[in-house]
Structure 1
Amino acid sequence: MKVGFDYQIFALQVYGGISRYYVSLAEELMLMGQSPKIFAPFHCNEYLSSTSAQIVEGERVAKRNSKLMRLTLPVNHFMSNKKINSWSPDIVHETYFSMFKAPRRSCPTVLTVYDMVHEKFPEEFSKWGNISVRKRSAVERADHVICISESTRNDLIQAFDVDESKVSVVYLGFDTFTDVSVRTDSLESSRRPYLLFVGNRAGYKNFHGFLRAFALSPALKVDYDIACFGGGAFTVAEKELIHSVGLSEDRVRHQGGSDKVLGDLYSQAAAFVYPSMYEGFGLPPLEAMAKGCPVIVSRSSSMPEVVGDAGCYFDPHSIEEMSAAMEKVVFSPSLRQSMVSAGYNRLQKFSWASCAEKTMDVYTQVVR
């Protein structure tokens, strides 16, 4: 089957879970004997740069998501759709929620919805871009919608009043970072164990709650540091919060970089803490499990569905409960070891191969 993916997410993300999902899916589809192709005429995506040229139609023109990339969007839209139509795929999988008028297709379209965070927390997002409006429009025009968890499927059906038969659930796979081989300078210079926070920190991601929960525990403050990966450098407000809870900036470190760096951070962390109020799926807990890192996670949205019995849970609205969960895990070697074992077992439920197989089932159903 010829499966075409459009340009959208690859002009918006250098790294990121969504673009990683599509590249991993396309690679697995090719291994299955299918014919996937990503049409991204001008992109900034790192994953496309390292995948097979047989899959990618386009070139990398920037190493970051800059204003230049935003300016390419209209051209990308025109060229991507022209190339897709010329290629005549059996099905098109849209990679995001287009800001442009949808082109006419001679084949069915599938859309993946990753979460309903813009609908759950509208106050935390700029009205510029109208993501929620674009998402609803994309859902309505798609022949079928894939959600990445039952939690997201339920939220989508409720928010947009979508026919249940139009929406399927396909779980994501995860990356094991098997190419990790380089220790980062920040880790080499650290003489203390640390708790790891990954990704964006604003609003519903609950970084402020995590800091307060950590600082609430004298034992954690004495024995552990905090390492943060991704999400950009600390803002002035975050630095002020760090100081206000009695921590110094050398105890709360930020690290950016590639997946190699992230894998190294997971493998050496005392535990990974995921305090988010809401996630459509949540890849970081699986990535942590794959590196033998215990997972301490919110009891909310899709997290119990994904993490299962491999995590230590807390109410993300309770600073006291989050603090107690962190203490419980890091100060109990036996519990940490049992959580690591449970994590490895849990991972058997998720793989990119399984994701591709179930996605192919959706494609076949839609084409028929």
Structure 2
Amino acid sequence: MKVGFDYQIFTLQAFGGISRYYVSLVEQLKSMGHSPRIFAPYHCNEYLSNVSPLTVDGKRIATRNSKLMRLSLPINQMLSNSRMKSWAPDVTHETYFSMFKPSRRSFPTVLTVYDMVHEKFPEEFSRWGNISVRKRMAVERADHVICISESTRNDLIQAFGVDESKVSVVYLGFDTFADVSIKTDSPESSRRPYLLFVGNRAGYKNFHGFLRAFALSPALKADYDIACFGGGAFTVAEKELIHSLGLSEDRVRHQGGSDKILGDLYSQAAAFVYPSMYEGFGLPPLEAMAKGCPVIVSHSSSMPEVVGEAGCYFDPHSIEEMSAAMEKVVFSPSLRQSMVSAGYNRLQKFSWASCAEKTMDVYTQVVR
């Protein structure tokens, strides 16, 4: 089957979970004998450099100038539509929520909805782009919608009044990252044991709650540090909170870098803490499990659905409960080991191969 993917997310993301999802899906579809092609005339995405040139119709603009990339959207839309129409796919997959109405097509369209966070927490997002409005329009024009969890599917149907028969659930796979050899002279091995936080830290991600829960425990403060990966350098407000809680920046450190570095951090962490108020799926817990890292996670939205029995849960609104969950895990070697084993078992439920197979079922359904 010929499957065309549009330019959108590859113009918006240099890195990120959504573009990684599509690249992984494309690679799996190719291995299954299908013919996927990404139409991204001018993009900024790093992952596409690892995809066969025959699969990507476009070239990378090495720039961090988000304004320039936004200006390229109308050009990408026009060229992508034209080139895709000439290629004549059996089905197209829109990779985000376009502000442009696509030209009339003779082939069916599938859309993936990743979460309903803009609808759940509208006060945390700029009105620029009207993402919620664009999402609704994209959902209405799609022939079928994929959601990445039952939680997201339920939220979508409730918020937009979508016909249940139009929405399917396809779970994501996960990445194990490069294997690393932990040497005794590595930078991390010489540090104190630490709890790991990954990704963006603002608003509903509940980083401030995590800091307060950590600082609430004298035992955690005495024996553990915090490592944060991604999400940019600490803001002034975050630094002020760190100091106000009696912590210091050498005990709460930020780390950026490659997937290999992230894999290293997962491998060496005492536990991974995921305090988010809401997630459409949540890949980091699976990534942590794959590196043998115990997962301490909030009991909200899709997290129980994804993590299952492999996590130690807490109410994200309760600082005391979060603090107690962290103490419970890090100070019990036997519990940590049983959680690691449960995590490896849980991973068998998720793979990019399974994601591609179930996505193909959706494509076949809409092509009939």
Give the structure-1-normalised TM-score: 0.97
Name the CA distance, whole Å, in 2 between partners of 1:6 and 1:75.
Answer: 13
Structure 2 residue identity aligned to 1:194: Y
Note closer, same or farther for the CA distance 1:51–1:154 as it changes in structure 2 (3 Å cut).
same
SS in 2 for 1:327: helix
**Map of 1:360 onto structure 2:** 360
Name the CA distance, whole Å, in 2 between partners of 1:55 and 1:323.
Answer: 48
Name the CA distance, whole Å, in 2 between partners of 1:72 and 1:187.
Answer: 41
Tell me how far 1:182 sits from its aligned partner. 8.8
What is the aligned residue count? 367
Name the CA distance, whole Å, in 1 between partners of 2:95 and 2:55.
Answer: 15
Name the CA distance, whole Å, in 1 between partners of 2:61 and 2:230.
Answer: 22
Tell me how far 1:68 sits from its aligned partner. 2.0
Residue ranges of structure 1 left out of the alignment (5+ in a row): none
Tell me how far 1:188 sits from its aligned partner. 3.8
Name the CA distance, whole Å, in 1 between partners of 2:342 and 2:310.
Answer: 5
Note closer, same or farther for the CA distance 1:15–1:313 as it changes in structure 2 (3 Å cut).
same
CA contact (8 A) 1:193 1:224 kept: yes
Structure 2 residue identity aligned to 1:45: N
Tell me how far 1:261 sits from its aligned partner. 1.3
After TM superposition, the structure 1 stretch with the greater mean CA deviation from structure 2, 319-328 or 65-74, is 65-74
CA contact (8 A) 1:272 1:293 kept: yes
**Map of 1:56 onto structure 2:** 56
Name the CA distance, whole Å, in 2 between partners of 1:186 and 1:17.
Answer: 28
CA contact (8 A) 1:182 1:261 kept: no
Task: Give the CA RMSD over aligned residues.
Answer: 1.4
Name the CA distance, whole Å, in 1 between partners of 2:308 and 2:91.
Answer: 34
Name the CA distance, whole Å, in 2 between partners of 1:315 and 1:300.
Answer: 8
- Mapping of 1:24-173 within 5 angstroms? 24-64=24-64, 66-173=66-173
Name the CA distance, whole Å, in 1 between partners of 2:66 and 2:161.
Answer: 36
Name the CA distance, whole Å, in 1 between partners of 2:283 and 2:357.
Answer: 19
Name the CA distance, whole Å, in 2 between partners of 1:271 and 1:118.
Answer: 29
- Mapping of 1:186-265 within 5 angstroms? 187-188=187-188, 190-265=190-265
Name the CA distance, whole Å, in 2 between partners of 1:112 and 1:187.
Answer: 40
After TM superposition, the structure 1 stretch with the greater mean CA deviation from structure 2, 52-61 or 338-347, is 52-61
Q: Note if 1:276 corresponds to 2:276.
A: yes
After TM superposition, the structure 1 stretch with the greater mean CA deviation from structure 2, 289-298 or 66-75, is 66-75
Tell me how far 1:65 sits from its aligned partner. 5.5
**Map of 1:305 onto structure 2:** 305
**Map of 2:23 onto structure 1:** 23
Tell me how far 1:326 sits from its aligned partner. 0.3
| Percent of pairs with identical residues | 87
Name the CA distance, whole Å, in 2 between partners of 1:106 and 1:259.
Answer: 40
Note closer, same or farther for the CA distance 1:176–1:14 as it changes in structure 2 (3 Å cut).
same
**Map of 1:175 onto structure 2:** 175
Q: What per-residue deviation string (whole Å, max 9, x for no partner) do you get for residues 278-302 of structure 1? A: 0000000000000000000000000
After TM superposition, the structure 1 stretch with the greater mean CA deviation from structure 2, 79-88 or 20-29, is 79-88
Give the structure-2-normalised TM-score: 0.97
Name the CA distance, whole Å, in 2 between partners of 1:103 and 1:96.
Answer: 16
Tell me how far 1:156 sits from its aligned partner. 0.1
Note closer, same or farther for the CA distance 1:112–1:86 as it changes in structure 2 (3 Å cut).
same
Tell me how far 1:189 sits from its aligned partner. 7.8
